[in-house]
Structures are given as structure tokens and as C-alpha cells.
Structure 1
Amino acid sequence: MIPTPSMALRAVRGSLVAKIFAVCFLAIHLPLIAMIAYLGSGFSTNPGEVLTILLAATLIGTITCLSTLWWFIRPLRGLARAVQQYQADGTPVRLRLAQSDEIGVVANTVATTIAELDSVMRKLRQQATTDQLTGLGNRRWLTERIAIEQTRAEREKAPISVVLFDLDHFKNINDSHGHDVGDKVLMAVGEVIRDNLRRYDLAARIGGEEFCLVLPKTRANEAAAIAERFRAQFEKLWIEPLRPGRVTASFGVYEATPADSMQAMLLQADRALYRAKETGRNRVQSAGWPAESR
């Protein structure tokens, strides 16, 4: 097949090397082209005029060459800034170039690869911080988030409460009805929690049948009321072959102080939880308060 001008033009557009070669060739030969055009027009060969034309053509060729090359590689600067921004704060790389030369291919490939990598990393991060059975956070996630909430509560001088609870006699459910039923119980509990938490509350499964709620902007009495609502809803669960009243939980509530560490908060809530179990289970116990019976 004999190459046509349109085929040659497409080849140049699709090749950065070809475009650079064409621009450099034109810039280098522009003084010669200008001189040939000048002499061919019949003008005089005055040395001063000839020198002026050569200098002007050289200057124009140089400026044209440098500015065109800058234009060719400009997308790489945008890509570099986008990648640096992504590394700094995770801003997605939104860069799509219409050009089909090597720079366009590299830029679009890098942008696509980073987007795919970011998606994979987000999924891995979610898997690493989420309890797969209940859909709640896990202990690792809670450790990260509770520190943030403590800092915010201290800055805003707002209360923050912690609720620890675990399911009563959960081992007996597994032993008597199998782990499939136990898993259904945990999933049902997780669903109740997700459906009833406020948007700024935190919930995590931190052990086999142990859960933790972190309630920002919440006093101990308010946290106890929230825990009581959960207790009542768990008691109503009907999960075959378990009838309502079989799934119950004991709750420990503690309102943190600014000086409390995460370990101290959980320890105080855990002590209240232990007292709730000692006094009959299926009840809410606030740290330092009398137990509340059903």
C-alpha cells in the first residue's frame, strides 16, 4: 500500500518522536527556507538584509521549537502534580488525555492504574477494619476512631460515653444449636445496631460475642437509655429455632473524662458490664450507678 498524506499525518499525531522530529527539522531549517524564499523573490542580496533575515528566522525557529516541545510535554507536568497530590492526601488522579502519542498513553495508563490501585487499597482497608459477619467495625478500626473522637470531644468540651455489651449465654446457643445459628444471631445483632445508631456513633465487634458502642456528645444517662433500647430490641429477636427472649445482652456504660485513655474507658465500661452479669444479666449497668433491671 502506498502511504497517503492522511496516513502520514495520523502516524505523526500518534508518535511523539515523529512530532518532535518534524518540529526540530522545521526549526533547524527555517533560516535556510527563509533565505531561499528571500533570494527566490528577487530581492537584493544586501548583506545586512540577509543577516537580519537569518537572525530573525533563527530566533523564530528556536522560539517555535521550544514552545512546541513544552506544549508536547505539558501533560506530563499535570500528571506529576496529580500523582503528588494523590500521594499527599489521596486525591484521585482525574486525568484523561485525548492525544494518542506516547505521552497520552503513559498518562492515561498511569491514571487508570492509580485508580485501580486505589480501589483495591480501599477494599483491603475496609476488609482489614470491618467485621465481615456483622458489617460493624473491628477492634483495629475502633482503636483508630476512638482516639479521633476523644480528641474532638476534648476540643469541643463535649461528653463522650462508651457502651460495652456481650450476648448472654452465647456459648450455649452455639453448643445447643450449632455455629450457623450463632452466626445468624450475630448478624441480626449487627443489623439492629446499624439500623439504630446515630450517624456520628461508632459500633464495633471487638470479640466473639462482645460489642462496643462509642457515643459522642452523649452523657451517661443518655447512653444508658440508648443501651436500654438496644437491650429491648435484642430481646425481641426471633431467630429460628430461638424464640423471642432467648437472645439477650448485658450492658456496661461509662461516661469518659478528658484524661481517660481508650484502655481506661473500656476498663470502666467492662467493670460495669461485669456487674450487670453478676446481678442477673439482660440489663444495663452504668459505672457508679445501681443496676437497672428489666
Structure 2
Amino acid sequence: MIPRSVVALQMIRESLVTKIFVVCFLAIHMPLLAMIAYLAGGYSSHPFPILTILLVATLVGTIACLAALWWFIRPLRLLATALKRYNAEGAPVRLPVEGTDEIGVVSRAVAATMNELEGVMRKLRQQAMTDQLTGLGNRRWLSERIVTEQARAEREKSPISVVLFDLDHFKDINDSFGHDVGDRVLIGVGEVIRDNLRRYDLAARIGGEEFCLILPKTRIGEAVVIAERFRTQLEKLNVDPLPQGRITASFGIYQATPCDSMQAMLLQADRALYRAKEKGRNCVQSFDWHAETR
């Protein structure tokens, strides 16, 4: 059988009301307990020492009561601070709460709920920024990342190139073989892109069969070489029942300037892409802004 003293201590630990009651009871009766101890010790009953003991005991009881109450509600203060940080900065709610009373239970439950909610929100944000079919970024993701890359390029005085390409006669694949085959083609293209990207390159699917590569630290001549490699790899892509070499793409390349918006970059790359289509598709064309303006 569990001793009653252990049961009582367990009840005090798990009940905020009991804790407050015990602390307030002891604090209120501190002067009385001090007076009883003083008189039981056989000390003088002169009014001055008695008043002094009562005053000191009252102060000690009051300070101890306030300190205990401060400690009891500390998890609530930590929770309030964490929630304010979450609302202001999106910081995860983490609390070093060890208590088993009502405040501890509520604090842990709120922290767990907020962390679970943050996990769900993080997944939703990722889904909103990802093309579900290919696993690449989408247009929204690209528009956010490209601003960062342009700022870095301007800060480091380094070039940045844009490669825009789309699959040749992709509609014919859907019409002749079905959308399931078309989807498998897009998935295969996504795999080719991921396998050939450098660690700092960006890739996104920005349309039905249209893709965009952002190549930091890359001049237009280097971008042409990279695009040719992608073009060759796509020609080798095998998706049953399509014949080998049926999957091809036309590429347009533009070396951006720091002041270019995303729309301007895509527009110039699209002009080069249009040239590639005019030249018979399955080729790489670049748009040299300096050459165009001379």
C-alpha cells in the first residue's frame, strides 16, 4: 500500500489549487507559527521582540508566497512569450515544462499542438511551392528564389543565366498515347533535370511542358554548354511506348542583368526559345542582349 504521505505529495504536485492553498496557508500563518515557536522557546514576552518577530515573519511569509506563486505560473509566462515569438517570427514553440499540474499539462498540450500545426503548415507551404508531378519547384517558388539569387549575383558581381525550355510536340504525345504517358514523360524530365543540376542551380516547372533553369555564376557561353548537355540527356530518355529519341526539347538562354525582373528574364529567354523552334526544334539558342542592342 502506498503511504498516505506519498499520496498527499502526489496530489500537491498534480494540483495547482492544492499548491496555492498550501502556500497561502503557510504564508498567512507564518506570524502565528513564528510566535508559537518564540514563546515555546521560553524567550521574553516583551512587546518589542514580539512585534519584531511578527513583522519579520509577515514579510518572510509574503515574500515566500509571492515567490512560490511566481514559480507556479512561470510555465504560463514562458508559453505566452513563446506564442508571441511564434506570431511575430514563426519560431517553434518549445517549452522546458516539467510540472504535472494543470498549468504544466496545458502548456505541454499547447506546445505540442503548435508544433504539430507548424509541421502541417510547413508541409502545406512546401506543397504550394512544389510541382507535384515532377517534384521540382513551381512558378511561385521560382519567383521567390530568383529574387535571392539576383541579389546575391549583384552583391558578388557574378553572372546569372536563365534557361527556358519546353518539350517538342508534347501535345501530340498526350493525344496519341494518352495523358498517363505524358505524365511519365514529365516525371522522367524531372529526373533528368535533378540528375544534371549543379548543387546551386534552380529548376522549376513553370507551365504544362515548360521548364526553367536558373544558373548562378554562369555566363551565357557556359549556359549553352549546360543546356546542350540537358538536350542530349533528354534525347536519351526512354519512356515506353515512345520510340527512342522521341522526347526532345527546344532551349532558349538569356544572361540576366541585376535590374531584370523575373518577367523580363523569362521574356528574353522565351525570345531565344522561339528562335530554337523556328530553327526546327531540338536545339539551343541564346539571346545576347548586348549583341541585340549594338
TM range (shorter): over 0.9
Shift of 1:196: 1.6
* Alpha-carbon distance between aligned partners in 2 of 1:195 and 1:230, rounded to the nearest angstrom: 10
State the partner residue of 1:39: 39
CA distance in 1 between counterparts of 2:235 and 2:131 reads: 23
1:77 and 1:157 map into 2 onto residues whose CA distance is 48
Number of the residue aligned with 1:260: 260
Letter in 1 for 2:128: A
Contact 2:162-2:265 within 8 A present in 1 as well: yes
Match of 1:195?
195
TM-score, normalization by structure 1: 0.94
8 A Cα contact 1:167 1:250, kept in partner: yes
Q: Which residue of 1 aligns with 2:224?
A: 224
SS in 1 for 2:285: strand
1:52-201 aligned at under 5 Å gives the runs 52-201=52-201
Q: Is 1:51 aligned with 2:51?
A: yes
Unaligned runs of 5+ in 1: 290-294
> Contact 1:254–1:287 (CA<8 Å) still a contact in 2?
yes
Provide, for residues 42-85 of structure 1, a one-character-per-residue CA deviation record: whole Å limited to 9, x for no partner. Answer: 22211111111101111111111111111112222322332333
Deviates more, 1:73-82 or 1:215-224: 73-82
Tell me the distance in 2 between the aligned counterparts of 1:148 and 1:288.
23
Structure 2 match to 1:243: 243
For each residue in 1:203-227, what CA deviation from the matched residue of structure 2 results, as whole angstroms up to 9, or x when unmatched? 1111100001111111111111111
Cα deviation for residue 234 of structure 1 reads: 0.3
Task: Write the distance in 1 (CA, Å) between the matches of 2:153 and 2:2.
Answer: 76
Retained in 2: the 8 A contact 1:159–1:216?
Answer: yes
State the secondary structure of the residue aligned to 1:213. strand
Task: Give 3-state SS (helix, strand or coil) of 1:264's partner.
Answer: helix
The SS at the match of 2:214 is strand
Give the TM-score taking structure 2 as reference length: 0.94
Which deviates more, 39-48 or 212-221? Answer: 39-48
Farther off after superposition, 278-287 or 147-156: 147-156
Residue 2 of structure 1: how far off its partner (Å)? 11
Partners of 2:255 and 2:288 within 8 A in 1? no
Counterpart AA for 2:223? A
Q: Deviations over 1:135-180 (max 9, x none)?
A: 0011111111112211221122211110000000101111111111
Work out the CA distance in 1 between the residues paired with 2:82 and 2:180.
48
**Separation in structure 2 between the aligned mates of residue 163 and residue 171 of structure 1, nearest angstrom:** 22
Residues 78-134 of structure 1 show CA distances to partners (whole Å, capped at 9, x for unaligned) of 223323333333332222422111111121111101110100001111111110000
**C-alpha distance 96-2 of structure 1, shift in aligned 2 (>3 A):** closer
- Residue aligning to 2:292: none
**How many residues are paired up?**
289
Q: Which amino acid aligns with 1:265?
A: M
For residue 269 of structure 1, what is the aligned residue in structure 2?
269
Deviations 1:239-277 (A, max 9, x none): 101122100000000000122111111000000000000
Contact kept in structure 2, 1:96 and 1:111, CA below 8 Å: no
Give CA deviations for 1:7-59 in whole Å, capped at 9, x if unaligned.
22211110111101110110010001111222222222111111111011111
Aligned residue for 2:166, secondary structure, equals strand
Which residue is 1:30 aligned to? 30
Q: Check conservation: 1:96, 1:108, Cα contact below 8 A.
A: no
Indicate the percent of aligned positions where both proteins have the same amino acid.
Answer: 73
Secondary structure of the structure 1 residue equivalent to 2:29: helix
Report if aligned partners of 1:163, 1:213 keep a CA contact under 8 Å in 2. Answer: yes
Contact 1:250 1:282 in 2 (8 A): yes
Q: Indicate conservation of the 8 Å contact 2:159/2:217, yes or no.
A: yes
Tell me by how many angstroms 1:3 deviates: 9.1
- The one-letter code matched in structure 2 to 1:46 is H
